[in-house]
Amino acid sequence: MAEYMTRSQLKQLDLKVSTVERDVTFMALKPPSRPGKDDSGDISVKLTLLTPQRAAQILSNTVPPVLIFYRPPIAAAQPGKALPRPGAAVSSAAADLAAASEPPSSLEPTGIYGSVSTADVATSIRALLATDEEGSRVVISPEEIIFLNSISEEDELGDVDRVKRLGDFEVEIKVKGMKDSLKKTVRVLPEQKEVNFKLEDAREK
Protein backbone atom coordinates (compact mmCIF):
# COMPACT_ATOMS: atom_id res chain seq x y z
CA MET A 1 0.00 0.00 0.00
CA ALA A 2 1.13 3.54 -0.65
CA GLU A 3 1.78 5.81 2.31
CA TYR A 4 1.36 9.58 2.10
CA MET A 5 3.13 12.16 4.29
CA THR A 6 1.08 14.63 6.26
CA ARG A 7 1.76 18.39 6.31
CA SER A 8 3.32 18.17 9.77
CA GLN A 9 5.73 15.52 8.54
CA LEU A 10 6.61 17.68 5.53
CA LYS A 11 7.36 20.63 7.81
CA GLN A 12 9.59 18.49 9.99
CA LEU A 13 11.57 17.45 6.91
CA ASP A 14 11.61 21.04 5.64
CA LEU A 15 9.85 20.02 2.39
CA LYS A 16 7.52 22.18 0.36
CA VAL A 17 4.37 21.09 -1.43
CA SER A 18 4.78 21.74 -5.15
CA THR A 19 2.14 21.37 -7.82
CA VAL A 20 3.32 19.42 -10.85
CA GLU A 21 2.33 21.14 -14.10
CA ARG A 22 2.85 20.28 -17.78
CA ASP A 23 5.92 21.80 -19.37
CA VAL A 24 4.65 23.38 -22.60
CA THR A 25 8.20 23.82 -23.88
CA PHE A 26 8.70 20.08 -24.02
CA MET A 27 7.56 18.64 -27.38
CA ALA A 28 8.63 16.06 -29.90
CA LEU A 29 11.03 17.35 -32.51
CA LYS A 30 9.87 17.11 -36.14
CA PRO A 31 12.32 15.12 -38.25
CA PRO A 32 13.91 17.16 -41.03
CA SER A 33 12.21 16.70 -44.39
CA ARG A 34 14.14 14.82 -47.01
CA PRO A 35 14.77 16.41 -50.36
CA GLY A 36 12.43 15.14 -53.05
CA LYS A 37 9.56 14.48 -50.61
CA ASP A 38 6.45 16.57 -50.19
CA ASP A 39 4.26 16.90 -47.07
CA SER A 40 2.17 13.88 -48.03
CA GLY A 41 5.22 11.62 -47.95
CA ASP A 42 5.24 10.93 -51.69
CA ILE A 43 8.57 11.14 -53.47
CA SER A 44 8.51 13.72 -56.25
CA VAL A 45 10.65 12.98 -59.30
CA LYS A 46 11.72 15.80 -61.58
CA LEU A 47 12.31 14.85 -65.20
CA THR A 48 13.96 17.13 -67.69
CA LEU A 49 11.96 16.97 -70.90
CA LEU A 50 13.83 16.86 -74.18
CA THR A 51 13.24 19.53 -76.78
CA PRO A 52 11.68 18.36 -80.07
CA GLN A 53 14.91 19.22 -81.87
CA ARG A 54 16.96 17.08 -79.48
CA ALA A 55 14.48 14.19 -79.69
CA ALA A 56 14.64 14.27 -83.49
CA GLN A 57 18.43 14.33 -83.38
CA ILE A 58 18.54 11.30 -81.06
CA LEU A 59 16.12 9.39 -83.29
CA SER A 60 18.16 10.21 -86.38
CA ASN A 61 21.44 9.11 -84.79
CA THR A 62 20.22 6.05 -82.87
CA VAL A 63 17.80 4.43 -85.33
CA PRO A 64 19.58 2.91 -88.36
CA PRO A 65 18.42 3.78 -91.89
CA VAL A 66 16.98 0.28 -92.37
CA LEU A 67 14.94 -1.68 -89.82
CA ILE A 68 14.81 -5.40 -90.65
CA PHE A 69 11.91 -7.70 -89.78
CA TYR A 70 11.52 -11.40 -90.55
CA ARG A 71 8.20 -13.03 -91.40
CA PRO A 72 7.29 -16.47 -92.81
CA PRO A 73 6.39 -16.08 -96.50
CA ILE A 74 3.31 -17.51 -98.14
CA ALA A 75 4.39 -19.97 -100.82
CA ALA A 76 3.03 -18.89 -104.19
CA ALA A 77 1.82 -21.50 -106.67
CA GLN A 78 4.23 -21.91 -109.58
CA PRO A 79 2.44 -21.53 -112.93
CA GLY A 80 2.87 -24.58 -115.17
CA LYS A 81 4.46 -24.30 -118.57
CA ALA A 82 2.09 -24.53 -121.52
CA LEU A 83 2.69 -27.58 -123.64
CA PRO A 84 2.87 -27.06 -127.40
CA ARG A 85 -0.21 -28.20 -129.27
CA PRO A 86 0.31 -30.92 -131.78
CA GLY A 87 0.40 -29.57 -135.29
CA ALA A 88 1.01 -25.99 -134.17
CA ALA A 89 2.80 -23.87 -136.69
CA VAL A 90 6.36 -22.94 -136.01
CA SER A 91 6.62 -19.32 -134.92
CA SER A 92 8.27 -17.03 -137.36
CA ALA A 93 11.57 -15.26 -136.73
CA ALA A 94 9.74 -11.94 -136.55
CA ALA A 95 7.45 -13.22 -133.78
CA ASP A 96 10.43 -14.57 -131.85
CA LEU A 97 12.20 -11.23 -132.16
CA ALA A 98 9.12 -9.36 -130.93
CA ALA A 99 8.75 -11.68 -127.95
CA ALA A 100 12.40 -11.27 -127.02
CA SER A 101 12.15 -7.49 -127.17
CA GLU A 102 9.32 -7.40 -124.61
CA PRO A 103 10.45 -6.54 -121.06
CA PRO A 104 10.24 -9.43 -118.62
CA SER A 105 7.13 -9.40 -116.44
CA SER A 106 7.75 -8.23 -112.88
CA LEU A 107 7.51 -10.81 -110.16
CA GLU A 108 4.43 -10.65 -108.00
CA PRO A 109 5.11 -9.56 -104.41
CA THR A 110 5.25 -12.40 -101.91
CA GLY A 111 2.71 -12.28 -99.12
CA ILE A 112 3.58 -13.09 -95.53
CA TYR A 113 1.82 -14.74 -92.64
CA GLY A 114 0.76 -11.99 -90.27
CA SER A 115 2.08 -8.50 -90.89
CA VAL A 116 4.59 -5.87 -89.83
CA SER A 117 2.69 -3.08 -88.11
CA THR A 118 3.56 0.37 -86.82
CA ALA A 119 3.40 -1.14 -83.32
CA ASP A 120 6.20 -3.54 -84.31
CA VAL A 121 8.24 -0.63 -85.67
CA ALA A 122 7.66 1.44 -82.51
CA THR A 123 8.71 -1.49 -80.30
CA SER A 124 11.90 -1.95 -82.31
CA ILE A 125 12.71 1.78 -82.11
CA ARG A 126 12.08 1.89 -78.35
CA ALA A 127 14.45 -1.05 -77.87
CA LEU A 128 17.16 0.86 -79.73
CA LEU A 129 16.52 4.06 -77.78
CA ALA A 130 16.71 2.20 -74.46
CA THR A 131 20.44 1.69 -74.99
CA ASP A 132 21.03 5.44 -74.67
CA GLU A 133 20.45 7.47 -71.50
CA GLU A 134 18.84 10.37 -73.35
CA GLY A 135 17.20 8.10 -75.87
CA SER A 136 15.25 6.33 -73.14
CA ARG A 137 13.41 9.62 -72.54
CA VAL A 138 12.23 9.93 -76.14
CA VAL A 139 8.53 9.08 -76.36
CA ILE A 140 7.54 7.19 -79.50
CA SER A 141 4.16 5.57 -80.18
CA PRO A 142 2.59 3.69 -83.13
CA GLU A 143 0.32 6.66 -83.80
CA GLU A 144 3.38 8.70 -84.81
CA ILE A 145 4.49 6.19 -87.48
CA ILE A 146 2.90 5.57 -90.89
CA PHE A 147 3.86 3.51 -93.94
CA LEU A 148 4.18 5.77 -96.96
CA ASN A 149 4.25 3.23 -99.80
CA SER A 150 2.09 0.42 -98.46
CA ILE A 151 -0.81 1.14 -100.83
CA SER A 152 -0.70 -0.97 -103.98
CA GLU A 153 -2.90 -3.12 -106.14
CA GLU A 154 -2.06 -6.14 -104.03
CA ASP A 155 -3.26 -4.49 -100.81
CA GLU A 156 -7.02 -4.58 -100.58
CA LEU A 157 -7.33 -1.88 -97.94
CA GLY A 158 -4.07 -0.03 -98.44
CA ASP A 159 -3.36 0.15 -94.71
CA VAL A 160 -0.88 2.79 -93.61
CA ASP A 161 -0.32 1.08 -90.26
CA ARG A 162 0.89 -2.32 -91.52
CA VAL A 163 2.36 -4.20 -94.49
CA LYS A 164 1.59 -7.77 -95.49
CA ARG A 165 4.28 -8.74 -97.96
CA LEU A 166 8.04 -8.95 -98.39
CA GLY A 167 9.99 -5.95 -99.58
CA ASP A 168 11.23 -2.51 -98.61
CA PHE A 169 8.80 0.08 -97.29
CA GLU A 170 9.36 3.68 -96.31
CA VAL A 171 8.02 4.81 -92.95
CA GLU A 172 7.52 8.32 -91.67
CA ILE A 173 8.23 9.05 -88.00
CA LYS A 174 6.67 12.22 -86.63
CA VAL A 175 8.17 14.05 -83.66
CA LYS A 176 5.86 16.18 -81.55
CA GLY A 177 6.70 19.84 -81.96
CA MET A 178 8.55 19.35 -85.25
CA LYS A 179 7.14 20.14 -88.69
CA ASP A 180 9.63 17.93 -90.49
CA SER A 181 9.44 14.18 -89.99
CA LEU A 182 12.05 11.44 -90.13
CA LYS A 183 12.01 8.77 -92.80
CA LYS A 184 13.38 5.27 -92.38
CA THR A 185 13.13 2.04 -94.37
CA VAL A 186 11.43 -1.11 -93.10
CA ARG A 187 12.73 -4.24 -94.81
CA VAL A 188 10.64 -7.39 -94.53
CA LEU A 189 12.66 -10.54 -95.27
CA PRO A 190 11.56 -14.18 -95.41
CA GLU A 191 11.98 -16.06 -92.18
CA GLN A 192 14.16 -19.12 -92.61
CA LYS A 193 12.94 -22.14 -90.70
CA GLU A 194 15.78 -24.12 -89.21
CA VAL A 195 15.29 -27.87 -89.38
CA ASN A 196 17.35 -29.87 -86.98
CA PHE A 197 17.93 -33.51 -87.71
CA LYS A 198 18.84 -35.91 -84.96
CA LEU A 199 20.78 -38.91 -86.12
CA GLU A 200 20.71 -42.04 -84.03
CA ASP A 201 23.12 -44.91 -84.57
CA ALA A 202 21.51 -48.29 -84.13
CA ARG A 203 23.83 -51.05 -83.20
CA GLU A 204 22.94 -54.64 -83.70
CA LYS A 205 23.82 -56.98 -80.91
This prediction's pTM:
0.57
Which one is predicted more confidently, 62 or 4? 62
> Using one digit for the tens of pLDDT, what is the confidence trace for 27-47?
666 666 665 555 555 555 556
Q: How far apart are CA 93 and CA 98, in angstroms?
A: 9
Q: How many residues does the chain have?
A: 205
Q: HSE (CB half, 13 Å, CA atoms) of 185?
A: 8
Q: Contact at 8 Å (CB) between 176 and 52?
A: yes
> Using one digit for the tens of pLDDT, what is the confidence trace for 154-197?
444 457 899 999 999 999 999 888 888 999 999 999 987 654 43
> Using one digit for the tens of pLDDT, what is the confidence trace for 123-160?
999 999 999 889 999 999 999 999 997 655 444 445 78
Taking every pair of Cα atoms in the chain, the longest distance, rounded to a whole number of angstroms, is: 153
